[in-house]
């Protein structure tokens, strides 16, 4: 691979449909990247995006022909999830660093193969978990890491809107990756449940869940709950994170006050009554101040593009690397199994990751 120390990194966007234009716009505007190509099966669509992006990127309709280009350092994959494994594996074998849209793959097993291939070749494999690069989520992670919320008790997330019923995935696989990737990003040690429970409904008769409720047990008897819905006439993007000291509310649709931290909660104190410890006998409620952290205004995809470049130049794992994406995939697969058994708890089956990839994951945790 050519030297990238003192020059812009060269990237191509594969997929000019829904998300590809957003990636192309941000890589084109980035001082660290040179958008050199757009690839899509539909040449007219690829050409339209190339014209809009500026800089005169080349247009390809064949991924193999694109990957044969020697002046290409990386690719950003924005194709349907079922195609991710084939496209990403081809790119890695061609020596390209890869950014891939969520979810990483359509199965955890294929995702593990992608992580293994990248690790064996010393290449960056990064998941575009966009929300993890928003100022709000970066601040949430900082607040939790600083211990300002205390020990976590619950996470309640709502992501509902009148959305498109997807042809190939249900509402869990479409919307929940956002919430799961955020939870994985803000939790020290990441999202590692042993079981999950999912309940879904298909009132339209579409053949897949259009409304879903996902319950994820967390460490220390805490719990996370994710509500996703394609059928709501109102759009809500809200996450409530409760701790033993404070509770944080993130309202992504409120630009004036996205984050609010409440010094409010319930305190339980053990008291011995007739020789028996009774927590319920000493319940008190805190009603303290509320404050809203100041957040910088910057586009998450721009931050993501910079992180991708930094991970390549510094030869280090990205903040949302393949390991993080695998944890999200494992939960999604368990949710699908839970749906088949009427919402009963389903085990989160994690395919062993090769030693090379495991060492990469350890480095990520050390840098958290």
Question: Does residue 271 lie within any of the structural domains?
Answer: yes
Contact 191, 179 (CB under 8 A): no
Residue 9: its pLDDT value, please? 98
Per-residue pLDDT band for 190 (boundaries 50, 70, 90) equals very high
Mean pLDDT of 38-57: 95
Question: Does residue 123 lie within any of the structural domains?
Answer: yes
| Token reading at 286 | 């805190």
Give the pLDDT confidence of 270-289 residue by residue, as tens digits.
555 555 655 555 777 777 88
Give yes or no: residues 108 and 229 share one domain: no
Structural domain including 162 reads 132-291
Pairing of strands 74-77, 97-101: parallel
Per-residue pLDDT band for 266 (boundaries 50, 70, 90) equals confident
Tally of domains within the chain? 2
Q: Which CATH number fits the domain that encloses residue 34?
A: 3.40.50.720
Residue 367 CA from chain centroid, whole number: 18
Residue 351: its pLDDT value, please? 73
Pairing of strands 211-217, 223-229: antiparallel
CB atoms within 10 A of CB 161: 16
Mean pLDDT of 299-313: 96
Name the pTM for this structure. Answer: 0.89
Residue 91 CA from chain centroid, whole number: 21
Residue whose structure tokens are 């004036």: 256
Residue 208: its pLDDT value, please? 95
Coarse DSSP helix, strand, coil percentages of the chain, rounded to the nearest 5 percent: 35, 30, 35
CB atoms within 10 A of CB 23: 28
Give yes or no: residues 238 and 312 share one domain: no
Question: Does residue 325 lie within any of the structural domains?
Answer: no
Mean of the per-residue pLDDT values of the chain = 91
Mean pLDDT of 2-20: 85
Q: Which CATH number fits the domain that encloses residue 240?
A: 3.30.360.10
Give yes or no: residues 247 and 210 share one domain: yes
Euclidean distance between CA atoms 52 and 39, whole angstroms: 14
Position with higher pLDDT, 203 vs 367: 203
Per-residue pLDDT band for 305 (boundaries 50, 70, 90) equals very high
H/E element, 172: helix 171-186
Cα–Cα distances in angstroms (integers) from residue 66 to residues 13, 69, 70, 305, 359, in the given order? 10, 6, 9, 21, 31
Residue 82: its pLDDT value, please? 93
Question: Does residue 2 lie within any of the structural domains?
Answer: no
Question: Does residue 311 lie within any of the structural domains?
Answer: yes
Contact 324, 129 (CB under 8 A): yes
Give yes or no: residues 108 and 30 share one domain: yes
Burial of residue 175 (CB within 10 Å: 0-12, 13-18, 19+) is: buried
Ramachandran region, residue 205 (left: φ > 0; alpha: ψ -120 to 50; beta: rest): left
Residue 203: its pLDDT value, please? 95
Euclidean distance between CA atoms 368 and 345, whole angstroms: 30
165 pLDDT exceeds 90? no
Mean pLDDT of 327-337: 97
Residue ranges of E strands in the chain: 9-14, 33-39, 58-60, 74-77, 97-101, 125-128, 152-162, 195-201, 211-217, 223-229, 231-243, 247-251, 259-268, 272-273, 276-277, 283-291, 346-347
Mean pLDDT of 158-183: 93
Euclidean distance between CA atoms 39 and 18, whole angstroms: 14
């Amino acid at each position: 691979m050519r030297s990238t120390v003192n020059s812009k990194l060269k990237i191509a966007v594969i997929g000019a449909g829904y998300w590809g234009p957003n990636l192309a716009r941000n890589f084109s505007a980035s001082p660290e990247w040179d958008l050199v190509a757009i690839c899509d099966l539909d040449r007219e669509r690829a050409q339209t995006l190339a014209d809009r992006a500026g800089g005169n990127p080349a247009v390809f309709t064949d991924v193999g022909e694109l990957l044969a280009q020697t002046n290409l350092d990386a690719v950003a994959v924005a194709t349907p999830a079922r195609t991710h494994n084939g496209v990403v594996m081809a790119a890695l074998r061609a020596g390209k660093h890869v950014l891939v849209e969520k979810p990483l793959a359509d199965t955890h097993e294929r995702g593990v193969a992608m992580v293994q291939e990248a690790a064996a070749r010393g290449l960056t494999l990064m998941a575009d978990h966009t929300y993890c690069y928003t100022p709000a989520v970066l601040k949430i992670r900082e607040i939790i890491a600083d211990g300002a919320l205390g020990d976590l008790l619950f996470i309640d997330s709502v992501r509902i809107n009148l959305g498109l019923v997807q042809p190939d995935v249900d509402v869990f696989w479409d919307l929940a990756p956002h919430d799961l990737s955020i939870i994985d990003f803000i939790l020290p040690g990441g999202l590692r449940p042993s079981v999950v429970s999912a309940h879904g409904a298909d009132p339209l008769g579409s053949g897949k869940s259009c409304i879903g409720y996902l319950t994820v047990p967390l460490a220390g008897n805490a719990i996370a709950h994710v509500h996703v819905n394609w059928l709501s006439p109102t759009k809500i993007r809200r996450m409530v994170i409760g701790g033993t000291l404070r509770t944080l509310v993130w309202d992504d649709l409120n630009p004036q006050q996205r984050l609010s931290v409440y010094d409010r909660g319930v305190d339980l104190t053990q008291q011995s009554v007739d020789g028996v410890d009774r927590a319920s006998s000493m319940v008190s409620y805190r009603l303290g101040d509320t404050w809203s952290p100041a957040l910088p205004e910057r586009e998450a995809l721009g931050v993501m593009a910079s992180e991708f470049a930094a991970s390549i130049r510094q030869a280090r794992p990205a903040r949302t690397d393949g390991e993080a994406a695998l944890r999200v995939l494992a939960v999604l697969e368990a949710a699908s199994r839970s749906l088949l058994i009427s919402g009963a708890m389903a085990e989160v089956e994690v395919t062993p990751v090769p030693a090379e990839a495991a060492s990469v994951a350890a480095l990520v945790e050390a840098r958290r």
